[in-house]
Amino acid sequence: MTLKIGIIGGTGLDQDTELLQDKREVKVPTTEYGDPSDSVVIEGTISGVPVAIMGRHGRNHNISPSNVNYRANLWTLKHTLGCNIILVTSACGSLKEEIKPGDLGIMDQYIDRTCGNRQRSFYAVSHIPQARPYDPKLQAILEESCKELGYTVHPGLTAVCIEGPRFSTLAESRLHQSWGAHLANMTTVPETQLASELGIPYAALALVTDYDCWHEDEHESVTVELVTERLRQLSIKAKAVLTVAIKKLAQLDLSEHIKAKEQQAKAAIMVA
Show pLDDT as tens, one digit a residue, over the chain (272 residues): 899 999 998 765 655 667 899 999 999 999 999 999 999 999 999 999 999 999 999 988 899 999 999 999 999 999 999 999 999 999 999 999 999 999 999 999 999 999 989 999 999 999 999 999 999 999 999 999 999 999 999 999 999 999 999 999 999 999 999 999 999 999 999 999 999 999 999 999 999 999 999 987 766 666 778 778 888 889 999 999 999 999 999 999 999 999 999 999 999 999 99
Rounded to an integer, what distance in angstroms lies between the CA atom of residue 77 and that of residue 198?
A: 10
Rounded to an integer, what distance in angstroms lies between the CA atom of residue 182 and that of residue 98?
A: 10
**Catalytic residues, which ones?**
210, 212
- What CATH homologous superfamily does 5-271 map to? Nucleoside phosphorylase domain (3.40.50.1580)
Q: What SS3 class is residue 9?
A: strand
Q: Is the pTM of this model over 0.75?
A: yes
* Alpha-carbon distances, residue 133 vs 69, 128, 201, 203 (angstroms): 19, 10, 9, 9
Locate the domains of the chain by residue range.
5-271
Is the dihedral angle over the CA atoms 98, 102, 103, 108 positive or is it negative?
Answer: positive
Closest CA to 208 of 157, 244, 169, 242: 157
